[in-house]
Amino acid sequence: MKQKYITIIPCILVLFIITALGVINLKSYYEEILNSTGLVHKDFYQKLKEENERAIESDVAYQRMIDYLLQDSQGNGEQEEDLTYPLETTEEEDSTTENAKLPENLSLRANAALLLDAENNRVLYEKNGYKKLAMASTTKIMTCIVALENADLKGIVTVSSYAASMPDVQLNVRKGEEFYLGDLLYSLMLESHNDVAVAIAEYVGGSVEGFAELMNKKAKELGCEDTNFVTPNGLDADGHLTTARDLAVIASYAIKNDKFINITNASTHSFKEIKNGRGFTVTNKNRFLYMMDGAIGVKTGFTGDAGYCFVGAIKRSDRTLISVVLGCGWPPNKSLKWSDTKELMNYGVDNFEERQIFRDVDLEPVFVEDGQQKYEYLNMEGNLSLLMREDEQVKIVYQVPRSLTAPVKEGAQVGTAKYYIDEVLYAEVPIYTTTTIAKIDYPYCFKEIIKMWGAEY
C-alpha cells in the first residue's frame, strides 16, 4: 500500500505543476493569440478609429481588403497573387490663373524644343522633343564633359594634321603645336572651335572614333538611347543625331560639374602654345548669359543640316531649368534661338511651383500564409518634391500582394506605389514589410499545443 502511494504522488505533483503553469499563462496566451490576428491590441479603440477613418478615405480599397479576409477565413476560392488598389487621384480643381500660359499657347519657331527640370530630368514641355535631329556644335557639351572625366586638365595635347585641317570655326592651331587640355576646353566651349574639338578627341580617345565611343558610352549611361555621336565637333555626318530630350539630359548632367560651369561661364580666357609661346584669347559668344537672371549656359550651334541650335540653363533659388531648341531657323534668322529660349524659360518660371506629391498613407495589413503571425503591416517612405503646373493631376496606384508566404523578413520590398502625373509615370516608391514573421514549424506547433493543453487543464 505504501509503495502504491509512492508511485501516485509524483504523478499528482506533475499534474499540479502543469495545471498551475497553464493558469498563470492563460491571460498572456489569449492576449498573444488575439494580437497575432491583428484584430485586437492595447490601442484597440484608437486603432478602430483609425480604421474607420481609412475606410472613409478609401472605401473601395478597404472593402476589397475586408472581402478578402472574409473569403480567406471561409476558404472560398483562390485569390489573385497581386492586388492593385483603386487609383487614388488628388482632387484638384482647375486653378490655372488667367495669366498662366499653357503649353499649347507657346509660339516657338524651332523644329524641336524642350524644357527640362534639371533636378529630376522631368520634361516640363516638349515640341518634337523625341525626334532625332542634327545637333551641330551643341555636341561639344558632351565633348567637354567626356574630356573632363577622362583626362587631366594639365595634360599636353599635340595637334595632328587632321585636327588642323578642320573647317571654320577654327582657333587655327598648327600641326605639331602643343597646348594644355584645360586651355583648349575654353577654346572649345567659348568660341566653338572645330579644330580644337578634334585635337581634344584624339588626345583623350586616341582617335576621333575612339572618342566617339566614349561619348556614346556616356550617353547610354545617362539614359540617352536616341543619341549617336560620330564627330566631337558636331559637323554634319551620317548618323550624328540626337533628340531635344537627350540633349537636355546631357546638359543637365554637365552643369552639375563645377569645372564645366567654370569654363562655360567664363567671359574670356587667355593662354599660350607651350613650345613657341603663340598667344590666344577666346571670348564667350553665348549671349544668353546676359539675357536672363540666373543664366548659366550652355552652348550654341549651327550647321546646314541642323540650323541654329541652342542649349540654355538657368539656376534660381528654387529651380534649375534646361532648354533646348533645334532647327531654330536658318540664315538670316540667327536671333530666333534666343527668343525661343527666353519663351521656354519664362514659361517654366511663370507656370511651375514646387509641390510635394508623396502621400503618407496607412496601408492595409497583408495576410501571411503559414506564418506565426497572421498579418504583416506595411510601410513606405519618400520625398517627391518637384515643379508642377497648377492644372497637373497626380494619380497614385498602390500595388501590393494579396498575401505573403512565411517566412517574411523585416524590410523586404513587397510592393510599389506608382505616381503618375497626367497619366505619365513619374516615380515608383517601394513598399516594405515592418516585422519579421517566422514560418510555422514543429517547435512552434508543440509550443502552441502545450499552451492549449495547459489552458484547458
Evaluate the omega torsion of the peptide bond into residue 407 and state whether it is cis, within 30 degrees of 0: yes
Q: What is the dihedral of CA 23, 25, 31, 33, to 10 degrees?
A: -100
Q: Which residues have a Cβ under 8 Å from the Cβ of 85 and sit 6 or more positions away?
A: 58, 61, 64, 397, 398, 399, 400
Query: In 213-235, which positions are buried (b, 16+ CB within 10 angstroms) versus exposed (e)?
Result: ebbbebbeebebeebbbbbbbbb
- Tracing cell 503591416 back to the chain, one arrives at 377
Q: Cα–Cα distance between 275 and 271 in angstroms, integer? A: 12
Catalytic residue among 58, 160, 187, 192: 192
User: Which three three-digit cell numbers place residue 304?
Assistant: 546646314
Evaluate the omega torsion of the peptide bond into residue 298 and state whether it is cis, within 30 degrees of 0: yes
- 140 included as an active-site residue: yes
Evaluate whether 320 touches 299 at the Cβ level (below 8 Å). Answer: no
Catalytic residue among 137, 160, 187, 252: 137
- 334 included as an active-site residue: no
Amino acid code (one letter) for 93: E
Catalytic residue among 127, 140, 218, 374: 140
- 192 included as an active-site residue: yes
Q: Cα–Cα distance between 283 and 186 in angstroms, integer? A: 9
| Residue 86 per-residue DSSP state | P
> Mind telling me the catalytic residues?
137, 140, 192
